[in-house]
Structure 1
Amino acid sequence: MLQDRDQETTREIGVGPWPGGPAAWPTDECYDPELLRDGDRRNVTDEFRYWTVDAIVAELDTRRHPFHVAIENWGHDLNIGSVVRTANAFNAAAVHIVGRRRWNRRGAMVTDRYQHVHHHPDVADLLAWAAGEGLPVIGIDNVPGSVAIETFALPRECVLLFGQEGAGLSDEAVAACDAVLHITQFGSTRSINAGAAGAIAMHAWISRYADIPQQ
């Protein structure tokens, strides 16, 4: 028999106040006194419980992966937040918003606080920055002439560029990319949600280059 939904126990997120009260608090500067006092209900890994945002960013900076993520923002795409959240999960070097400066942060679930986010007014500005850093720009879109990401040797240091939902990459972006890749599909739909495509492409990089912890 299924348990009544109203009787289900809700899983508690995070941790409560540091046990033992102020006298037992750790003294390392990475810890936030307010979180130690009130508890830490943020969506962070156990490693960073009770840490300040600045301390978390500083630690992530010591081990960021050398790929960047860029996404075009011409229509205030709701998927941008999802892409930022995934970039944080895979510890990308930075996220670059191309086009409109304002973007919908709801899907990011505040992970943008831990991720370096830069703005470029147009594709040309992003390309100029990437050229200055010596980074190839790899577009991700299902367009004629694109190559299957499963068969392509992703560069270790690169920029993964995504278009907005529906429209995909702009013609300017497609023409300027060093390569354009598509995600191989086997069903009836022609395209994959932009947020999902971002996650798949970033994981393709992770599968190739990241040091995977042995459990």
Structure 2
Amino acid sequence: MDVLYGLHPVEEALRSGARQLDHVSVARERRDERLDRLIQLCRASGVRVAVEPREQLTRLARTDAHQGVLAVVRERNFLSIEDLLSSKLDGFRFFLALDGIEDPHNLGALLRTADGAGVDGVVLPERRSASVTATVAKTSAGASEHVRIARVTNLVRALEQMKKNNIWVIGLDERGTPDYIDFDFKTDCVLVLGREGAGLHDLVKKTCDHLLRIPMGGQVSSLNVSVAGAVVMYEAMRQRRQFSSIGPKATKERKGLGS
């Protein structure tokens, strides 16, 4: 069993229906409209509600940031790369792959943005990566319960498999070219983001068909990975929405796919 805490993560777990909730505990000391709505949602979903002292929730959550709400849930069943690739989706497919993001707050922020930007799935390596924990769920404001996530043993192999399925592999690198706003995202692609401070691993970088950069106008050379990811994901969403509103047009041929 896993633990989720905080109003948004617990509410989104109930709404998504992605995994079974054993029960929801609420703090005896808290009473307000938001909590009452959550209790009503639990009852409508057939989930048992237990009223307990706040100290008990703090002990189970291992933090006092639970907002007086905690859920005991079944462990998450992650998808495989085949699951992501076999899904029937409208329009171009857009995925996110994370190469060694170790800070759970960065992972949570990226999953929240991925949900908001309409990303079709996220690829996470099993090793050298933050797990999708309660901290990640809290940081994502519950968005992690809605995002389709595949866990893979070898990220390079997964990216190569995506290439074979006609998906362009696009890395973000401060020494890359062109600028991200000059890239045409109106195609099937996966955006690959690297480690905090170190960027993409060499093998992952070599696997990418293109390396994009975010131009910087100040004294620092790069953005925090969750901010950089948000910038590019929303540019991709902007282009794709614009494309869908005007209808399909011929796009120029690119070289490098599967190389």
TM-score by length of 2: 0.55
How far, CA to CA, are the matches of 2:186 and 2:154 in structure 1? 24
1:103 aligns with 2:103: no
Alignment-mate amino acid for residue 122 of structure 1 = N
Alignment-mate amino acid for residue 84 of structure 1 = L
1:73 aligns with 2:95: no
Q: Percent identity at matched positions?
A: 23
Deviation at 1:155, TM superposition (A): 4.0
Alignment-mate amino acid for residue 93 of structure 2 = P
User: Aligned match of 2:158 in 117, 122, 126?
Assistant: 126
User: Aligned match of 1:33 in 44, 48, 56?
Assistant: 44
Could you say if the C-alpha distance between residues 139 and 155 of structure 1 is closer, same or farther in structure 2, counting changes exceeding 3 Å?
farther
1:149 aligns with 2:180: yes
Contact kept? 2:178, 2:213, Cα under 8 Å:
yes
How far, CA to CA, are the matches of 1:167 and 1:187 in structure 2? 20
Contact kept? 2:101, 2:107, Cα under 8 Å:
no
How far, CA to CA, are the matches of 1:141 and 1:14 in structure 2? 43
Could you say if the C-alpha distance between residues 207 and 172 of structure 1 is closer, same or farther in structure 2, counting changes exceeding 3 Å?
same
Tell me how many residue pairs correspond in the alignment.
170
Per-residue CA deviation, residues 141-196 of structure 1 (Å, 9 max, x unaligned), is 212x4321122222421000000211111111111100000111111111100000
Q: Quote the RMSD (CA, aligned, Å).
A: 3.5
Contact kept? 1:94, 1:118, Cα under 8 Å:
yes
Deviation at 1:134, TM superposition (A): 1.3
User: Aligned match of 1:203 in 218, 234, 242?
Assistant: 234
Deviation at 1:103, TM superposition (A): 1.9
In structure 2, the partner of 1:42 is none
Alignment-mate amino acid for residue 148 of structure 2 = H
1:87 aligns with 2:114: yes
How far, CA to CA, are the matches of 1:92 and 1:14 in structure 2? 30
TM-score by length of 1: 0.66
1:174 aligns with 2:205: yes
How far, CA to CA, are the matches of 1:12 and 1:201 in structure 2? 37
1:135 aligns with 2:167: yes
How far, CA to CA, are the matches of 1:32 and 1:161 in structure 2? 41
Q: Which runs of 5+ in 2 are unaligned?
A: 1-31, 50-87, 246-259
Alignment-mate amino acid for residue 204 of structure 2 = A
How far, CA to CA, are the matches of 1:124 and 1:108 in structure 2? 26
Secondary structure, aligned partner of 1:118: strand
Q: Which runs of 5+ in 1 are unaligned?
A: 1-10, 22-30, 39-60
